[in-house]
Amino acid sequence: MPAVALAAAFVAALTWPTDVPSQLGTPELDPHAFFSGSQIARAGDYAAFTSVNQVLSALVLVAVLVVYARRGTRFMRESAAGRIGTGMLLAMLGLALVWLAELPFGLAQLWWGRRYGVADLGYLEWVVSSWFALSGVFIGVCLTVLIVMAIAAVARQQWWLLAVPAFAAIGLLVAFVSPYLVPNVEPLRDKRIAADARRLERQQGLPRIDVEVQRAKQHTTEINAASAGFGPTRRVILWDTLLEALDRRQVRFVLAHELGHQSRDHILKTIGWSILLAVPSAFLVAVATRRRGGIYRPEAIPLALLVFVVLTIASTPVQNSLSRRFEAEADWVALETTRDPAAARGALVKLGDASLEDPDPPSWAQLFFGTHPSVMDRLEMVEAWRRESGWRRRTRPLAAGGPMD
Amino acid sequence: MALWFSLATLVAIANWIATLISGAPSPMLHRFLSAYVRYVTHVVAYLSLAANPYPGFAGRPGYPIDVEIDPPARQNRWVTGFRLLLAIPAVLLADALVGFGTSAAAGSNVTSGGVLGTVAFLGWFASLARGRMPQGMRDLAAYAIGYSAQVNGYLLLLTDRYPNSDPAIYDSANVFRDDPIRVPVDDDLRRSRLTVFFRLLLATPHFVWFLLWTIAALFAGIANWFATLISGQSPSALHRFLSAYLRYQVHLYAFLQLVANPFPGFVGKPGSYPVDVEIEVEPPGRQNRWVTAFRAPLSIPAFLIASALTTSAYVAAMLGWFYALVRGRVPKGLRNLGAMELRYYAQTAGYFYLLTDRYPYSGPSSGWQLRLNPAPPPGAPQSAYPA
């Protein structure tokens, strides 16, 4: 155990620091300087419903799993699949019940998104695609149950020590192949933006990374971009809505942000943190299921599912905090690379407006739902960078790569 | 036939009104419509080679494949009023069994002939070559024609008893056979609504596993073919592997088609599932090398019939899905139709994988009902329909 704790502390110390100066004095900015009163009110209304819906959805999720943990073992009679197969069935049925219970909340969110013009998807289309998406979830959970129960057959109560490295390997594999699993993508055809990407890669010390465009505008008006994969599979994916809504300088900022995730190895660091969190989670699952004979036995699966989900929810603030740190660092890297705060401001305001993001959400909402810094936090960082950069410009020459226009 | 149909349509409307008013069909109209149903049955049996004599035009009883119709009886007025709507599931299933409709209606370019159409097509060649219709094909055709006749009778208000798709109600099913591949059924018809609703998704891990196993089975099958061709019998290890693969396939299909309730295992273990495959060729016996050499082309007719039966079984599964969600059980008729299809598929695949050189028997008699009925006394006829 001390060795595990020591290794965890080492990984945490290695991955927690970022390039964002720790003493950065961010100014207090007024949202009204960037958004109209009606935009702020609209975003606030949208976010309020979304937050309440998410909280209720999480409560229902836990409630369903509590009931399932108590009564789910009765479904064992529906299986002729042996120990591991029955465990798989129980895990899938638990998630199927969760899907059923969460359906109204998903539909409510879709209704709200359609009402605010953020979502274009039809209700039936959403239900059907969500139903089919469950098959991917089932494969994932069955693989998990297979690994855990197979390890438990050998290691019994110590299964969690062996399971964590196995899941780390799977996590790495999934992250590695994930760029190939993104649907509706095509190569970036805009030669000027592609040339910008090449320059930004060089500035951030990256090898050539493919930039792809995902067709999203038939489903949503939101604008977004993502970074996926690592090593030779690295990709940056821009939504077509983003290319239509942002001008070239703003797209360049977004590109630099996404490349920042790659140059600072955020995907690998996130996996590292997931492993760190997985160690105590797996240990607690092992402890909780001992009463039912341990995870070796299929009747422990419903309880394991509940414990795992509760731990995941409980660790959400930690994961979100980590995610916000990495996003802030990517913003910082993008500012350092593009040295174009006006474009950064423009892009962030448009991103916030298109996604109806509350510019300055309450702290509790950020704690549980904020995977990115709030729009105002990001704008304040841009302003802080501008001031810092002005100060640096007076004292020392610019680093390589100035403004590109 | 066209004249009969036109008249029958008018008479059926009159009969519907009469039954709605009086609560029972008029005896005269009932007689006319009974003759019509019999006539259609005779003509279809003749066309599909299920029977040989040229049929009469009046629909009189006495044809080798005939319909027995009860005299007119009182019928529930609500059931009579909504008869057309209530008949839709049965019509869908009859369409899949008899053919010429479902796939075209669904916009498919390939019009499936259904079970009857496929059997008639294959039976035509067999009859030309041998001067007789194979018994299994004839009995299967009789089953499809029988179900279709039940649907017609229900639609035309000759009875208010819902059509029963259970092959075991036909005499031709209750014959004793000693096929080396059998599919015993030990199922109580109960179905869990939750697993029924998510059945397709719950099978997802099986699809992945099945794909992997199929790749291995493909190589094993090729190796088995060479080995059997050279040595005259299948090597035990390959025989066991392919038997387990076949058993797993049937377990999975039974789960998907609601023929059985539990989530199946992944290894095709014998006796582990309510719908199982018994393979009575252990150790593997000697097989004719010529039959082995041409096993793939010889399997084609059986696969054609299996494919048509599978379509019907999936229509039955779809209907059973709705029924099971409401009632928490599946109708015995639909379950047994699925079991019959699985038995035929198991025999066909077993023949193709060289587990046996006995050609699949397409008649409704299956082996799956042998556990439900006592063994026949010594000297019992092999079939109620003498070949």
Residue of A68, A138, A301 to mutate when probing chain B, most B C-beta within 10 A: A138
The model's pLDDT over B130-145, given as tens digits with 9 standing for 90+, comes to 999 999 999 999 999 9
pLDDT at B369: 44
pLDDT at A217: 86
**Is the per-residue pLDDT at B380 higher than 90?**
no
For B288-292, the CB contacts below 8 A with 24+ separation are: B288/B357, B289/B229, B289/B232, B291/B357, B292/B225, B292/B228, B292/B229, B292/B354, B292/B357
Q: Do A85 and B192 touch (CB under 8 A)?
A: no
Nearest by CB to residue B195, choosing from A78, A85, A135, is A78
pLDDT at A118: 84
The predicted model gives B52-71 an average pLDDT of 92
Share of chain B above pLDDT 90, in %: 75
CA-based diameter of chain B, in Å?
74
pLDDT at B6: 85
Least confident of A396-405, B87-96, B307-316, B361-370: A396-405
**Is the per-residue pLDDT at B45 higher than 90?**
yes
* Residue A94 Cα, gap to closest chain B Cα (Å): 10
What is the sign of the dihedral through the CA atoms of B74, B75, B80 and B85?
negative
Report ipTM for this prediction.
0.84
For residue B365, the SS3 value is coil
The predicted model gives A331-350 an average pLDDT of 95
**Is the per-residue pLDDT at A402 higher than 60?**
no
Q: Do B262 and A78 touch (CB under 8 A)?
A: yes
The predicted model gives B260-270 an average pLDDT of 96
The model's pLDDT over B191-219, given as tens digits with 9 standing for 90+, comes to 999 999 999 999 999 999 999 999 999 99
In this structure, which amino acid lies at residue B89?
P
For chain B, positions 338-377, list CB contacts with chain A under 8 A. none
Q: Do A139 and B204 touch (CB under 8 A)?
A: yes
pLDDT at A149: 96
The predicted model gives A51-79 an average pLDDT of 95
* Average of per-residue pLDDT values in chain A: 90
For residue B356, the SS3 value is coil
CA-based diameter of chain A, in Å?
76
Q: Do A85 and B274 touch (CB under 8 A)?
A: no
* Residue A297 Cα, gap to closest chain B Cα (Å): 16
Least confident of A22-31, A366-375, B35-44, B189-198: A22-31
The model's pLDDT over A193-217, given as tens digits with 9 standing for 90+, comes to 999 999 999 999 999 999 999 998 8
Q: Do A131 and B202 touch (CB under 8 A)?
A: no
Residue appearing with tokens 């409307």: B13
Q: Do B198 and A92 touch (CB under 8 A)?
A: yes
**Is the per-residue pLDDT at A3 higher than 90?**
no
For chain B, positions 266-295, list CB contacts with chain A under 8 A. 266-267, 272-274
Q: Do B205 and A82 touch (CB under 8 A)?
A: no
* Residue B204 Cα, gap to closest chain A Cα (Å): 6
Nearest by CB to residue B266, choosing from A81, A96, A138, is A81
Greater pLDDT, A186 or A1: A186
CA B175 – CA B375 distance, rounded (Å):
10
Q: Which residues of A touch B194 (CB under 8 A)?
A: 75, 93, 96-97
The predicted model gives A246-267 an average pLDDT of 96
- Residues with Cβ within 8 Å of B10's Cβ and at least 6 positions away in sequence, in order, are none
| pLDDT grade for B368, boundaries at 50, 70 and 90 | very low
The whole-model pTM stands at 0.85
The predicted model gives B110-125 an average pLDDT of 84
Share of chain A above pLDDT 70, in %: 96
Q: How many CA atoms lie within 13 A of A366 on its CB side?
A: 16
**Is the per-residue pLDDT at B91 higher than 70?**
yes
Count chain A–chain B contacts defined by CB atoms under 8 A: 66
The predicted model gives A156-177 an average pLDDT of 91
Q: Do B202 and A78 touch (CB under 8 A)?
A: no
Q: Which residues of A touch B266 (CB under 8 A)?
A: 81-82, 85
Share of chain B above pLDDT 70, in %: 90
Element of type H or E holding B240: helix B236-256
Q: Do A89 and B198 touch (CB under 8 A)?
A: no
| pLDDT grade for B112, boundaries at 50, 70 and 90 | low
